[in-house]
Chains A and B, each alone.
Chain A
């Protein structure tokens, strides 16, 4: 019997032990990440949160909503509605939920109709009209197919 055949069973046992340990650690880490990730983003406001008293929110805030309207003369101005309210309205664009007017002053492309967006900006008046002036945004989903 040579040395390699004697050593092999020991190596195999050690490998199995390492594999078991690694699997357990991976499961634990995955669960931890999953649990932490399930906490939700408490800093993102909804359109419904800001609709009644926009200027109660000072400085830069992040507001989440659904892009439902665009203006004819300026595509950098668009309307955003509360996603939960839109769900309850069956994604009917004409439902009575408040339209938050958004002015995008960033350099990127504007979002598309039906995009669920997280908008970073602040409320201000532009020529006496209330707008949410946005410097940057991210698209987190799209509901264009459901809009009617």
Chain B
């Protein structure tokens, strides 16, 4: 009988204990893998949203806090405290293509919806919009609304229908093609029309900027700061802020999953210590027929490692299943925060490998003390144990 066969036989000797000890690792690893997969999905979604926005630089009022900056990506309403003159000052700079946004909130069928005032022609070019149905704005004074694709579908609205904001009725003149970003979940009005409706004449929320030479972004940022008292962030900086927030949430959740793994590790220690007491005589016999302390140490360490291997594999599979099938429920809050987002679990092969290796490491580390205790047993005392 070789060592591996011995280990397998020992582990499966008490099936109930084996299953419950294994469950501890499986649950801990499942939680860990599920959180890794879901976190990866959320990061990918935020990245996609930021890229789809099309802006290299965001110009905001100088006094905006982090919440306001993040709200650019999450579709929340934004303060309208940037004077429209700033837009003219920014547009005068060379190599810059700037569009204004006035982001307000209203409701359709009692569901909050973002209403965004835009400069129609530049915005269409900036965001590379296409019209799916109806037509686009013919002028910046046109009293009508263009809907994002998801808005039209959610509320079953189309060309010829009407929407009401701030007591005014706006006919729906067009519906945009889906672009896979928060652009899909908004209603668009020409900026002057939105400013009048929401009593924000002369003000906008922020400015999106595309630059001609991406490698000179810092120079453009400096140029904008020279002409206006504003805050300027590159798209990457804003993304970093959002990812930073997400990161701290992820770390917290993974710490909680880590605690369950620590509990599982103590379960393994407990199981192995119990096994040592039950198998004292067996250990004594093995020592007496020539097994060394190192052999005994290896046997018990292998048993622990096997728990880790099996628990890691099963836990990873369960974790992936949880993240795939439970993602819509578990990420409902993320959907509410990032309106229009539809994150999916991000399953990387390396996640599997990492999870299995991590489980084995924890299990082996848990088994070191019991293995050491087992190897330290005196053969005479062990063999005479009843």
A: residues with CB less than 8 A from B are 16, 20, 35-36, 38-40, 42, 45, 48-53, 55-59, 61, 84-85, 87-89, 96
Main secondary structure of the interface of B (DSSP, over half): mixed
Contacts A35-B329, A38-B330; A49 near B110 (Cβ below 8 A) = no
A88 contact set on B, CB distance < 8 A: 65-68
The total of interchain contacts (Cβ-Cβ below 8 angstroms) comes to: 67
Known: A52-B198, A88-B66. 15 other contacts (CB 8 A): A35-B329, A38-B329, A38-B333, A39-B329, A39-B332, A40-B336, A50-B112, A52-B106, A53-B106, A53-B165, A53-B166, A55-B166, A56-B106, A56-B164, A88-B68
CA A116 to CA B149, docked complex, whole Å: 35
CA A88 to CA B329, docked complex, whole Å: 27
Tell me whether A57 and B110 are in contact (CB under 8 A). Answer: yes
- Chain B: interface residue count, which band? 20 to 34
B329 contact set on A, CB distance < 8 A: 35-36, 38-39
Tell me, yes or no, whether B380 is within 8 Å of chain A by CB: no
Contacts A40-B336, A88-B66; A53 near B104 (Cβ below 8 A) = yes
User: Of B65, B79, B107, B166, which is in contact with the most chain A CB atoms at under 10 Å from its CB?
Assistant: B107
B: residues with CB less than 8 A from A are 16, 65-68, 76-77, 79, 104-108, 110, 112, 115, 164-167, 198, 326, 329-330, 332-333, 336
Chain B: minimal CB distance from A31 (Å):
9
> Which of A38, A52, A61 meets B105, CB within 8 Å?
A52
Chain B: minimal CB distance from A40 (Å):
5
A48 contact set on B, CB distance < 8 A: 76-77, 105
Tell me whether A59 and B110 are in contact (CB under 8 A). Answer: yes
B108 contact set on A, CB distance < 8 A: 56
Chain B: minimal CB distance from A123 (Å):
11
CA A55 to CA B164, docked complex, whole Å: 10
B16 contact set on A, CB distance < 8 A: 16, 20
Tell me whether B105 and A85 are in contact (CB under 8 A). Answer: no
> Which of B77, B167, B330 meets A52, CB within 8 Å?
B77
B105 contact set on A, CB distance < 8 A: 48-53
Tell me whether B333 and A56 are in contact (CB under 8 A). Answer: no
Chain B: minimal CB distance from A114 (Å):
20
CA A107 to CA B110, docked complex, whole Å: 27
Of all chain B residues, which has the CB nearest A90?
A: B65
Contacts A57-B110, A59-B110; A52 near B104 (Cβ below 8 A) = yes
CA A60 to CA B166, docked complex, whole Å: 18
CA A59 to CA B109, docked complex, whole Å: 10
Of all chain A residues, which has the CB nearest B66?
A: A88
A84 contact set on B, CB distance < 8 A: 67
CA A39 to CA B334, docked complex, whole Å: 10
B76 contact set on A, CB distance < 8 A: 48
16 A–B contacts, CB within 8 A, in A order? A20-B16, A38-B330, A38-B332, A39-B332, A39-B333, A48-B105, A49-B77, A49-B105, A49-B107, A52-B115, A53-B115, A53-B165, A55-B167, A56-B165, A57-B110, A87-B67
